[in-house]
Amino acid sequence: EAGVVQSPRYKIIEKKQPVAFWCNPISGHNTLYWYLQNLGQGPELLIRYENEEAVDDSQLPKDRFSAERLKGVDSTLKIQPAELGDSAVYLCASSSGTGGADTQYFGPGTRLTVL
Amino acid sequence: DAKTTQPTSMDCAEGRAANLPCNHSTISGNEYVYWYRQIHSQGPQYIIHGLKNNETNEMASLIITEDRKSSTLILPHATLRDTAVYYCIVTRSTGTASKLTFGTGTRLQVTL
């Protein structure tokens, strides 16, 4: 079974430029998460989707960050414009969303460097 | 969700059992104990989870105390590839999803 796929794995951009990250969850997983991980810290949730609906985006900086999951499968996270402080690893995770113990499975992440 | 307390770092000799403790004294009855690990430059990897009973899978064993206020993750025969940061997380499912709040974890160093 394929895991969570993310691309690109690495991205280097100059500040004020836009950037986008793509995630393909595990097949059949209805719930998708985007996390931010700064160096030396644990991941922090940015947004959670249940199918196409963003049900928890309270930690997403909406002035420059946006996300979409149009068909309830793949998702894109965008930053526009990027700032130096956005340099971090952006992780995508998915879960089946069937209740009970809903285990999340993570992708390898996209490491963003803003110069 | 309940907070967890883990040692900052631990060492373990290759081939020996690695026992990683976690305190979660404020855990609620409907909260699960999850363990993930993160090897350098990779995404977090799910290891195991439990509610009340001890659990075992191909990767590890999870021992939860009877009062559920603490737990131990056991890697029975640690290898160099087990060197990673291990996160103990307590969470409850909200119907269709779980919320993971990561702390700083335990950095396990496996040595020859």
pLDDT digits (tens, 9 = 90+) for A18-47: 999 999 999 999 999 999 999 999 999 999
Minimal Cα distance from A47: which residue of B?
B99
What's residue A99's pLDDT? 64
Inter-residue contact B80 to B49 (CB < 8 Å):
no
What end-to-end distance do the CA atoms of chain B give, in Å? 38
Taking the Cβ of residue A9 and every Cβ of chain B, the question of whether any pair is shorter than 8 Å is answered with no
From chain A residues 60-89, the ones with a CB under 8 A of any chain B CB are none
Taking Cα atoms as reference points, which of B25, B22, B20 lies closest to residue B2?
B25
The one-letter code for the residue type at B81 is R
Are B43 and A108 in contact by the 8 Å Cβ rule? The answer is yes
Mean pLDDT for the stretch of residues A45-51: 93
What's the pLDDT at A81? 96
Q: What is the pLDDT of residue B96?
A: 60
B100 contacts B89 by C-beta, under 8 angstroms? yes
B8 touches chain A (CB under 8 A): no
Give the pLDDT confidence of A63-92 residue by residue, as tens digits: 999 999 988 899 999 999 999 999 999 999
Low-confidence ranges of chain B (pLDDT < 70): 1-2, 93-97
The average pLDDT across A87-98 equals 92
Residue numbers in B near A106 (CB within 8 A): 36, 43-46
Nearest to A102 among B44, B97, B104 (CB): B97
Question: Region A40-61: what's the mean pLDDT?
Answer: 92
Nearest to A41 among B45, B49, B104 (CB): B104
Q: What whole-number distance in Å separates Cα of residue B19 and Cα of residue A50? A: 36
- Within 10 angstroms of residue A16's Cβ, the number of other Cβ atoms is 10
pLDDT confidence of residue B68: 95
SS3 assignment, position B81: helix
Per-residue confidence (pLDDT) for residue B98, from 0 to 100: 73
Cis bond leading into A8, ω under 30°? yes
Quick one: pLDDT at residue B95? 62
Asked if the peptide bond before residue A81 counts as cis, ω within 30 degrees of 0, the response is: yes
| Residue A70, pLDDT score | 84
Which residues of chain B are within 8 Å of residue A44 when distances are taken between CB atoms?
Answer: 102
Question: Nearest CA of chain A to the CA of B1: how many Å?
Answer: 14
Alpha-carbon dihedral sign for residues B72, B6, A110, A81: positive
* Pick from B109, B105, B34: nearest CA to A100: B34
Q: How confident is the model at residue A96 (pLDDT cuts 50, 70, 90)?
A: confident
pLDDT at A101: 75
Q: How far is B7 from chain A (nearest CA, A)?
A: 15
A97, pLDDT greater than 90: no
- Yes or no, beta carbons of B49 and A103 under 8 Å apart: yes
